Each structure stands twice: as C-alpha cells, then as structure tokens.
C-alpha cells in the first residue's frame, strides 16, 4: 500500500507492534467479539509507548468489571483490585512512591456507583493519577444491569421497562469535584483517544479520560445498536468536537456529546503538597 497523507494513520496503526506491551500468553482475552475494550487497550498502549515513561515503572490499577480486566493483559506492574476501589489502591501506591507513573482503568459502574466516593475525592485531592474510564453505559460483567451512566429510557436487564434514573455526566462531575484534566473520547475516534490519554499522563494532577465505548452484547443489543459497527456509527453521529460543541445552541446540543479536552486547569498536586509539608516539619522534635 502506498502511504499518503490520508491513510498514514491507518498504515501506522496496522503495522504497530503491540506485542512488547502485551502478555501474549494470556491471549485470547475474555472479552466478547465486537467489545470496545480492546480498542481502548490498544490506545492505552500507544499513549504509554509514546509518553516516554520508563516501562519498568509504569503501574496500572483496575477495579472489577470487563473493562478492569485490561490490566491483566498489559505487561506492566498491574494491580487488579476490588470492585470500585481501584482509585483507593492507586492512591496508596502513588502516595507511597510518587516517582511511579500510575494509571487507573475502571468501568462506569466501578468508578461511579460503588466507587463514586473514591472518584470525587481523587478529583478533589488532585493526586497525580490518570484514570481511563470505560463508559459502556452498562454493567457488562454481571450481565447488563443499568449503571449510573445508562441513559434514561434505555433498556437493561434490570430496567426491562426502560431506565427511570437520570445518568451522570462524568466529565461535569469530575470538573465539579476538582479534577485538573478532563477529557472525553470514543472508541470510534481511536487515534484521537491516544492523544487524550497522553494529555492525561502529562498532566501533573488527577486526570480523567472518559471513553465512550460499546458493549454490543448487553447494551447495544437492547438499545438499537444491533451490531458493534452500529454502535461505533452511533458514536460517530453523536460525538462533536468540543470547540464546535460549545458554539452550538442548547437545542443543537440535545442528544449529542462533546469530545476532546474539556477542562485543563492546574492546581497544587497532592504529593507535591505533602512534600512541602515534609520539608517544613522534618527535623522538628514535635
């Protein structure tokens, strides 16, 4: 194939060697065909690989769920914790050894339902973690029950008549709680996602990248996204670059969502503040 300006990205991607970062002995993975998790995993790898981080030092922490199984397949220091608690474990790891780059992988149920408390407090504390939140709008692993991001009226195995609860806007929640880098991407815009994750890695503070991804088996099937491709097309048709999104009227924004870096505002980082405290008090008797 001849490489030109329009296909260079695809060509690069096709020839990308992921094997260095993957624990090949544990493949095949447990994910369903057409699941978005593999797309995010590859994007994570490309972001980490291009970040210049020392691969021996990179730590990856996850909770419980389909998405959280990502850690096992990636060849770093990986920690698969309990449901909802990835950020708590990650906080301990990062606080104990601030020189280690720590990324966290979590699902919408993991991070926002059972782990909601840790989510807002990690944002508030602004500890230097990068959270990649796989938002498939459903509890995938347990068989498709509705989650805090399942849209109103959607069908799930515990909302057979349509979900009556409103959904969280993850990014608004993160901004409100004090995260210093907040971005949203999709599995459709996979290469753009690399840059969003990379931005999170470079941010000194708590970063969150929401990834709108597909669970064709439990969400798509029940909600008019009959195939994985249809789910990706839905993303293409509803995601709007943030600059453009902000110029749209509320009516035009209805049903659409912004992608890109939504918020990036530095604040003092937790470990740096702790270090200042140590410098101030060390050597003091009491």
Partner 1 sequence: MVAPQSAAAAAKGGSAPSPRGEWQFLQGNEACALAAVAAGCRFYAGYPISPSSEVAEYLSSLLPRCGGRFIQMEDEIAAMGAIIGGSLAGLKAMTATSGPGLSLKQENLGYACMAEVPCVIINVMRGGPSTGAPTSPAQGDIMQARWGTHGDHPTIALTPGSVDEIYRKTIRAFNLAERFRTPVQLLLDEINGHMREKVWVPAAEDIEIVNRTAPPPPSPGYLPYRLDNKLVPQLAPFGTGYRYHVTGLDHGEDGFPTNDPKERARLHKRLMDKISKFEEELEDYERVDVEDADTLLVAFGSTARSAMGALRTARSQGKRVGLFRPITLWPFPEKAFRQAASRAKRILVAEMNLGQLILEIERLTAPGQEVSGVQRSDGEPINPLQILERL
Ligand X SMILES: Cc1ncc(C[n+]2csc(CCOP(=O)(O)OP(=O)(O)O)c2C)c(N)n1
Q: How far apart are CA 177 and CA 159, in angstroms?
A: 29
Which residues are 59's β-sheet partners? 77, 102
We find the least distance from the C-beta atom of residue 10 to partner 1, in angstroms, to be 30
Q: Is 53 in the site for partner 1 (CB under 8 A)?
A: no
We find the least distance from the C-beta atom of residue 69 to partner 1, in angstroms, to be 8
Q: Is 89 in the site for partner 1 (CB under 8 A)?
A: yes
Q: Is 218 in the site for ligand SF4 (CB under 6 A)?
A: yes
Which does residue 109 bind out of ligand X, partner 1, ligand SF4, none, counting CB within 5 to 8 angstroms by kind? ligand X
Q: Is 109 in the site for ligand SF4 (CB under 6 A)?
A: no
Three-state secondary structure along the chain?
A: CCCCCCCHHHHHHHCCCCHHHECHHHCCCCCCCCCCHHHHHHHHHHHHHHHCCCCCCCEEEECCCCHHHHHHHECCEEEECCCCCHHHHHHHHHHHCCCCCEEEEEEHHHHHHHCHHHHHHHHHHCCCCEEEEEECCCECCCCCECCCCCCCCCCECCECCCCCCCCCCHHHHHHHHCCCEEEEEECCCHHHHHHHHHHHHHCCCCEEEEEECCCHHHHHCCCCCCCHHHHHHHHHHHEEEHHHHHHCCHHHHCCCEEEEEEEECCCCCHHHHHHHHHHHHCCCCC
We find the least distance from the C-beta atom of residue 26 to ligand SF4, in angstroms, to be 15
State the CB neighbour count (10 A cutoff) for residue 184.
26
Residues 187-216 that bind ligand SF4 (CB under 6 A): 215-216
Which does residue 70 bind out of partner 1, ligand SF4, ligand X, none, counting CB within 5 to 8 angstroms by kind? none
In the complex with ligand SF4, which residue's Cβ is closer, 35 or 201? 35
Which residues are 74's β-sheet partners? 22
In the complex with ligand SF4, which residue's Cβ is closer, 51 or 187? 187
Q: Is 140 in the site for ligand SF4 (CB under 6 A)?
A: yes
Question: Which two three-digit tokens encode residue 72?
Answer: 């096992």
We find the least distance from the C-beta atom of residue 77 to partner 1, in angstroms, to be 4
Residues 130-149 that bind ligand X (CB under 6 A): 134, 136, 138-142, 147
In the complex with partner 1, which residue's Cβ is closer, 119 or 146? 119
Crossing angle between the packed helical segments 86-96 and 270-281, to the nearest 10 degrees: 40
Which does residue 142 bind out of ligand X, partner 1, ligand SF4, none, counting CB within 5 to 8 angstroms by kind? ligand X
In the complex with partner 1, which residue's Cβ is closer, 21 or 155? 21
> Cβ contacts of residue 89 below 8 Å, gap of 6+?
61, 79, 81
Which does residue 123 bind out of partner 1, ligand SF4, ligand X, none, counting CB within 5 to 8 angstroms by kind? none
We find the least distance from the C-beta atom of residue 160 to partner 1, in angstroms, to be 30
User: Could you list the residues that contact ligand X (CB under 6 A)?
Assistant: 64-67, 83, 107-110, 134, 136, 138-142, 147
Footprint on this chain of ligand SF4 (rule: CB under 6 A): 31-32, 35, 37, 66, 136, 140-141, 215-218
Question: What residues line the site for partner 1 (CB under 8 A)?
Answer: 23, 26, 55-57, 59, 61, 71-72, 75-82, 85, 87-97, 99-100, 117-118, 121, 274, 277-278, 281-284, 286
């Amino acid at each position: 194939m001849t490489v030109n300006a329009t296909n260079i990205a695809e060509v690069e991607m096709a020839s990308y060697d992921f094997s260095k970062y993957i624990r090949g002995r544990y493949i095949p993975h447990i994910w369903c065909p057409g699941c978005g998790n593999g797309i995010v995993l590859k994007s994570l790898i490309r972001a980490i690989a291009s970040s210049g981080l020392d691969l021996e030092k990179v730590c990856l922490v996850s909770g419980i769920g389909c998405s959280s199984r990502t850690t096992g397949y990636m060849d770093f220091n990986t920690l698969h914790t309990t449901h909802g608690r990835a950020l708590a474990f990650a906080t301990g790891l990062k606080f104990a050894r601030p020189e280690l780059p720590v990324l966290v992988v979590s699902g919408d149920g993991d991070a926002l339902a059972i782990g909601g408390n840790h989510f807002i407090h990690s944002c508030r504390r602004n500890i230097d973690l990068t959270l990649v939140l796989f938002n498939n709008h459903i509890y995938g692993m347990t068989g498709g029950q509705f989650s805090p991001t399942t849209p109103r009226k959607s069908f799930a195995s515990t909302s057979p008549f349509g979900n009556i609860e409103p959904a969280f806007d993850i990014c608004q929640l993160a901004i409100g709680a004090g995260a210093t880098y907040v971005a949203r991407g999709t599995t459709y815009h996979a290469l753009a996602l690399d840059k969003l994750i990379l931005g999170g890695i470079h941010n000194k503070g708590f970063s969150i990248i929401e990834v709108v991804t597909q669970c064709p088996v439990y969400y798509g099937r029940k909600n008019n996204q009959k195939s994985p491709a249809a789910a990706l097309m839905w993303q293409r048709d509803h995601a709007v670059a943030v600059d453009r999104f902000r110029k749209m009227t509320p009516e035009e924004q209805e049903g659409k969502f912004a992608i890109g870096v939504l918020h990036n505002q530095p604040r003092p980082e937790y470990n740096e503040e702790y270090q200042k405290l140590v410098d101030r008090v060390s050597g003091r008797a009491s």
